[in-house]
């Protein structure tokens, strides 16, 4: 399992040694300017309506908040929000992260693309801390919503965490341009013609039985709660990939073993559906975009003796970039999202790490992963709670992640 550094680098300490002096002096200069310059509120008068009070007193702060700006340390497991989660690795199944927030709202909202706001983003995350959020920690703008998730105050070692949720209109033109270049127009209708609901349910069960331990990338709780509803609500690209990977195991289903003797869905068409859906989602990514990438990386080659093409490495790099855009590289244990979504985000991140790392080895490329890029707790038995046989799936995934960690260490030190 990959681990983040337990202490901050000397370089980081030297770089920010003078930060307190800088922010304090900047605050003094701000005071002197405020004494001789008309206030911003006076200068705009009533010409520009705003929903904010321009006086920071409503937040219990003054302009001296610059003194409290933390340094940009690397993400570390030393954070309290992460240490609590890491402790559950040896504690078995069913334990939950303590002090979970009562208000839990999914980040994976329907018809919204959620992206993590980085620390050098055009929307400064430190300034975003001072926005007037609602009780649900959200702030709506024209076609976007700002959302914060950090339960701890901003301080050294605890940088602010914000997400930007965009409406489909923001990327509509890009999606339409991409859609006009693809052969399929309505992937769900094509999928329904290939795979009936009854066959789809049977294939999903085979996926859970034979594939899930290798690709634990879907919510088992939602799937088993209502299998037909899962088929109706899940992206057709994700379903097509799951169906295609489960097809070789139809002999282990009483009904499918008979049906497949006469007719079986075309695996090539299923992968075409998944690929077309992926291309359309790239401008508006969600968790399903990561899921499709991971499924496509495990496509069965048409020629069993042929090596992987460069497309596999390109896709492995793309899925890492998409995962970081969605904030999967950040530990979600203390966020205001459902526990099942916390488990899913952890499993997705570590699956991305595994796929990217091994593609780097097999293609002889330098990994694009860095130790200080993520602070997600190591995957544990608790992340497989709710599955029929959590021990088997967790044992395989945990062991494979540990092996991946060894491979990454070898590559860093000797290649």
The mean per-residue pLDDT over the stretch 307-314 comes to 85
- Which pLDDT belongs to residue 195? 96
Check residues 129 and 158 and name the one with the higher pLDDT. Answer: 129
| Mean pLDDT for the chain overall | 76
Q: Which class for 319: exposed (0-12), middle (13-18), buried (19 or more C-beta within 10 A)?
A: buried
The mean per-residue pLDDT over the stretch 285-298 comes to 96
Which pTM does this prediction carry? 0.70
Choice among 246-255, 275-284, 303-312, 349-358 with the minimum mean pLDDT: 303-312
Q: What pLDDT band is residue 358 in, cutting at 50, 70 and 90?
A: very high
CA angle 211, 214, 216 (to 5 degrees): 85
Q: Assess contact for 136 and 103: CB atoms under 8 A.
A: yes
The mean per-residue pLDDT over the stretch 218-244 comes to 96
| Beta-carbon count within 10 A of 257 CB | 12
Q: What share of the chain is helix, strand, coil (3-state, %, to 5)?
A: 55, 5, 40
The SS3 call for residue 73 is coil
Q: Assess contact for 242 and 214: CB atoms under 8 A.
A: no
Which residues touch 145 (CB under 8 Å, ≥6 apart)? Answer: 112, 138, 139, 164, 165
Whose CA is closest to 273, among 292, 246, 248, 300? 292
Check residues 364 and 290 and name the one with the higher pLDDT. Answer: 290
Check residues 128 and 227 and name the one with the higher pLDDT. Answer: 227
Q: Assess contact for 216 and 291: CB atoms under 8 A.
A: no
Q: How far is 86 from 88, CA to CA, in rounded Å?
A: 5
- Which pLDDT belongs to residue 128? 84
Whose CA is closest to 379, among 367, 364, 393? 393
pLDDT tens sequence across 167-216: 766 556 655 665 656 667 789 999 999 999 999 999 999 999 999 999 99
Check residues 62 and 114 and name the one with the higher pLDDT. Answer: 114
Residue 104 pLDDT greater than 70, yes or no = no
Backbone angles phi, psi at 164, to 5 degrees: -115, 120
Tokens coding 184: 């399929």
- Which pLDDT belongs to residue 262? 74
Q: Assess contact for 117 and 327: CB atoms under 8 A.
A: no
Check residues 37 and 124 and name the one with the higher pLDDT. Answer: 124
- Which pLDDT belongs to residue 411? 86
């Amino acid at each position: 399992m990959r681990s983040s550094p337990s202490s901050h680098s000397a370089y980081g300490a030297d770089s920010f040694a003078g930060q307190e002096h800088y922010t304090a002096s900047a605050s003094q200069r701000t005071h002197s300017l405020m004494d001789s310059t008309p206030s911003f509120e006076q200068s705009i008068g009533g010409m520009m309506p705003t929903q904010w009070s321009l006086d920071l007193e409503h937040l219990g702060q003054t302009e001296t908040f610059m003194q409290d700006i933390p340094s940009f340390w690397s993400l570390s497991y030393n954070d309290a929000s992460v240490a609590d989660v890491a402790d559950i690795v040896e504690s078995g199944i069913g334990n939950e992260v303590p002090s979970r927030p009562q208000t839990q709202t999914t980040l994976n909202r329907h018809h919204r693309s959620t992206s993590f706001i980085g620390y050098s983003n055009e929307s400064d995350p430190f300034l975003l801390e001072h926005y007037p959020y609602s009780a649900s920690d959200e702030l709506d703008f024209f076609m976007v919503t700002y959302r914060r998730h950090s339960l701890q105050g901003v301080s050294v070692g605890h940088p602010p965490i914000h997400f930007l949720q965009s409406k489909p209109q923001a990327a509509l033109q890009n999606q339409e341009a991409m859609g006009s270049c693809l052969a399929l127009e309505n992937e769900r209708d094509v999928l329904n013609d290939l795979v009936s609901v009854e066959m789809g349910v049977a294939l999903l069960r085979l996926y859970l039985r034979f594939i899930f331990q290798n690709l634990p990338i879907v919510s088992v709780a939602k799937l088993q709660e209502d299998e037909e509803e899962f088929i109706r609500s899940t992206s057709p690209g994700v379903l097509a990939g799951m169906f295609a990977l489960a097809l070789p195991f139809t002999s282990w289903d009483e009904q499918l073993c008979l049906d497949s003797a006469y007719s079986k869905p075309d695996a090539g068409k299923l992968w075409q559906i998944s690929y077309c859906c992926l291309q359309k989602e790239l401008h508006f990514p969600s968790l399903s975009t990561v899921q499709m990438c991971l499924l496509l990386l495990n496509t069965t080659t048409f020629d069993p003796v042929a090596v992987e093409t460069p497309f596999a490495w390109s896709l492995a790099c793309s899925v890492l970039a998409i995962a970081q855009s969605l904030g999967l590289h950040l530990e979600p244990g203390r966020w205001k999202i459902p526990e099942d979504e916390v488990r899913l985000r952890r499993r997705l991140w570590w699956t991305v790490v595994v796929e990217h790392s091994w593609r780097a080895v097999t293609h002889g490329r330098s990994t694009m992963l860095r130790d200080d890029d993520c602070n997600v707790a190591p995957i544990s038995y608790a992340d497989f709670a709710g599955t029929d046989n959590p021990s088997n799936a967790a044992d395989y995934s945990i062991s494979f992640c540990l092996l991946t960690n060894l491979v990454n260490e070898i590559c860093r030190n000797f290649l």
